[in-house]
Amino acid sequence: MLSLTELVALLVKRGVIVVGGVQADGDLSAFPVGIPGVIAAEPARMPARRPTPPTTACCTRPGATY
């Protein structure tokens, strides 16, 4: 019987696309992203502060609002 690591490696070898989530600490050697050929995915990071619209731009709604 194959271990999970061996199974994922076999899938990658056969051309199956395997995507794994990156742990919160960013460890890329953890299962399953530590297996060669596995695509590592992590959530998008939002900027600390969202940009605000400039106050000198033309308004698109009545009442001088965006």
Amino acid of residue 26: G
Which structural domain range is residue 31 located in?
A: 4-41
Is pLDDT above 90 for 55? no
**Domain contains 34:** yes
CB atoms within 10 A of CB 34: 14
Question: How many domains does the structure of the chain reveal?
Answer: 1
Select the more confidently predicted residue: 50 or 24.
24
pTM, entire model: 0.64
**Domain contains 24:** yes
**Domain contains 65:** no
Q: What is the pLDDT of residue 52?
A: 66
**Domain contains 8:** yes
Select the more confidently predicted residue: 17 or 51.
17
**Domain contains 28:** yes
Distance, CA of 41 to CA of 8 (rounded, Å): 16
- Average pLDDT of the residues of the chain: 84
